[in-house]
Structure 1
């Protein structure tokens, strides 16, 4: 049986049943990493097969084994459905011996699969979801939120633009928890910097036509039209914002979550000037450039922050397993909190008691086509926001792990 075979959207339950026939692996036999992503919906380019490759790179750099045990990577498609994700996570752990689950491309999926990991005392590395609640009121002792969250994105770009004089904002937000949290966190940052939100529109996932929402944004007279969405939704919104001439009327488009592959899909001619916040800047230093070059050679694309974050999280997890000599969740998680993070993704990261991996964030601006010197030379670094500034402080946390 090939456990690397992706579960199809039409036969996920049948595939899960077939996995059930697999023998359970004893903890001492191997370390199994399950990459639970999106291979067929709005975040397939954000997550998907290329993120799996980033995880495999981390395993290969560890020599394919740690603590004397081989490391295996398996993966599946959550279809962006929390119930499917929870079912896969449960059967992975109970029947396929999975020790750690990585990726989890939405907040709802992270909560669903994270609960399963918590119940079975396994590790969940939340490398793709965005909800800041995951290390706030909904924190879990067995989950580490690695790459970014809505608070850090909002606090980075919202604060910077409001302080620059862009006071009036209109939000086009994804109509589910991610969009609501991102808009809410950004509103708090904007108001704290003296700005205000003059209007917003909630947009269903996988929307193709943004015209009515962009017309509302134009009519609002806002300085900033903020896109609180991600993946294909962001790509479509940026393309159509250009068609509506928002930039020509003096309105600045700010993409709260914009990844390298999104910019490539839009094209510099349409995306130029767009501001965004990210957790990974591939041109930052020698380590980040070397990782990006190796990833491009392997996949043909530049690593986005979720791919780089997944690579980093798995490297840190495997280093912790090696350090403690076991894959038992308790000792591994303790080691991950003790050990500093210093790699291609984060040069000065740390894992806090609430499960938040704190690291620098970066405010970026998409380049004009004439300023680009190569296929992935697509943005300039405008500002580095220190991690302790970007992320919610422990003093403001509602996480029971901190407050109890």
Structure 2
């Protein structure tokens, strides 16, 4: 009888007490190799969010599980994604710096019942690869389209486009060409470079020979963008008056000190600058700088990760910590908040982020090189998205 009473008591207790669970978030990114700074910024954004908000949501504790993908590798991305779902039991996936890696992982999401929050990869079509993909970064259509308007406003008539030959580069080229020619401009030549290009001197000569007044360029942020801008200056294009126009990948803040005065006046359009003037960004920069160890290393992937953690927290709240990818994604459609970058919202139709895009000019203020915001294109959606 005593055993029966004890068993009944334990059953009653177990039915009235909610035990906290650990919810794992798997993050795939370049934490080593040439693009390790971008992975470091993923971690800085995540750690900044945890420092400000804590690692618990309701009765649940968040645990971050990292997987290193040093360079674009779709097969390895799929393998790491599968491992995180099956072996680690993650309920959420996040990160994905390069488009090919995000595209390779997307088909696994529905079978694994796991949403993916993209912190960086910027091709429009990623959201079409799975209904469980949500973006807190940007697309290159989104960041490149306003630059076409800027070029025409500044009286530029002839442009050569030079982009890396993969999804975001092709999207960036298409966005600029559509906007520029639609406004009466002329594209004199379009060039696509292999992603592994690191000697840009022949390209600079080709730009000179084209007779263009400006070059529109896109390369993924990292060593290649620094090399391209250095080659542009060292080969005399800036002095010759050939204007460089680009999305903000080409002047990420950690590269500005190395470029020095040569970068002054360069124009880019982008969704975020570390110098963005708002209370939300001041608090973010303080937390993220502590997390990364040096404010000079802070760059745009950190804000994608910071906002991504906010979205994941809302998914966890909406599902009560239960694993339900469809409900989690549904809960954040239409979600709006004030990000460190400014006001943002998740488009309920395509799960892209609607946000401001800023025209920035590299400037020297208080002894530091910054991307100074000088014009705002408000509430920009993704003009490159097409319904599947």
TM-score, normalised by the number of residues in structure 2: 0.87
Return the offset for 1:339. Answer: 2.8
Q: 1:212 aligns with which of 202, 227, 236?
A: 202
Following superposition, the deviation at residue 265 of structure 1 comes to: 5.3
Pick closer, same or farther for the CA change 1:265–1:103 going to 2, 3 Å: farther
Uncovered stretches (5+) of structure 1, i.e. residues with no partner: 1-26
**Alpha-carbon shift at residue 86 of structure 1 (Å):** 0.6
Match of 2:321 in 1: 326
Residue number in structure 2 paired with 1:278: 270
Instruction: Report what 1:16 is aligned to.
Output: none
Residues 131/397 of structure 1: CA separation in 2 closer, same or farther (3 Å cut): closer
**Higher mean Cα deviation, 333-342 or 83-92?**
333-342
The equivalences for 1:326-365 within 5 A come to 326-327=321-322, 328-365=324-361
Deviation at 1:268, TM superposition (A): 2.9
How many residues are paired up? 363
Partner of 2:386: 398
2:41 to 33, 45, 50: 50
| Post-superposition CA distance 1:305-356 (Å, at most 9, x none) | 2210111111122033224413421222122114322232342423332111
Q: What is the DSSP-based 3-state SS (H/G/I as helix, E as strand, rest coil) of the residue aligned with 1:34?
A: strand
Within the candidate set 23, 32, 53, 1:40 is matched to: 32
Question: Given the superposition, is the C-alpha separation of residues 41 and 255 from structure 1 closer, same or farther in structure 2, using an over 3 Å criterion?
Answer: farther
Aligned residue in 2 for 1:296: 289
- 1:144 to 1:198, Cα distance in 2 relative to 1, 3 A: same
Distance change >3 Å, CA 259–CA 65, structure 1 → 2: farther
Residue 57 of structure 2 corresponds to residue 66 of structure 1:
yes
Larger Rg: 2
Worse-superposed segment, 262-271 or 74-83: 262-271
After TM superposition, list the pairs within 5 Å mapping 1:132-171 onto structure 2: 132-135=124-127, 138-171=128-161
Q: TM-score, normalised by structure 1?
A: 0.84
Q: Using the alignment, how far apart are the partners of 1:175 and 1:169 within structure 2?
A: 18
With 190-199 and 339-348 compared, the bigger mean Cα shift is at 339-348
CA-CA distance at 1:139 after TM superposition: 4.5
**Counterpart residue number, 2:246:** 255
Structure 1 stretch 232-241 or stretch 201-210: which is displaced more? 201-210
1:246-291 deviation line (CA, Å, top 9, x unaligned): 1111101123223533533542312111111211133231111221
RMSD: 2.1
1:125 and 1:262, CA in 2 relative to 1: closer, same or farther beyond 3 A? Answer: same
- Pair 1:117 & 2:84 matched: no
Partner residue in 1 for 2:183: 193
- SS of the residue corresponding to residue 191 of structure 2 reads strand
Describe the shift of the 1:125–1:141 C-alpha distance in structure 2 as closer, same or farther (beyond 3 A).
Answer: same
Q: Is the 8 A contact 2:145 2:176 kept in 1?
A: yes
Q: Unaligned regions of 5+ residues in structure 2, if any?
A: 1-18
The 1:281/1:129 distance shift into structure 2, 3 A limit, reads same
2-side partners of 1:291 and 1:387: how far apart?
21
Q: 1:118 to 1:274 in 2, by over 3 A?
A: farther
Residue of 366, 377, 386 corresponding to 1:373: 366
Q: Which has the higher strand share?
A: 2
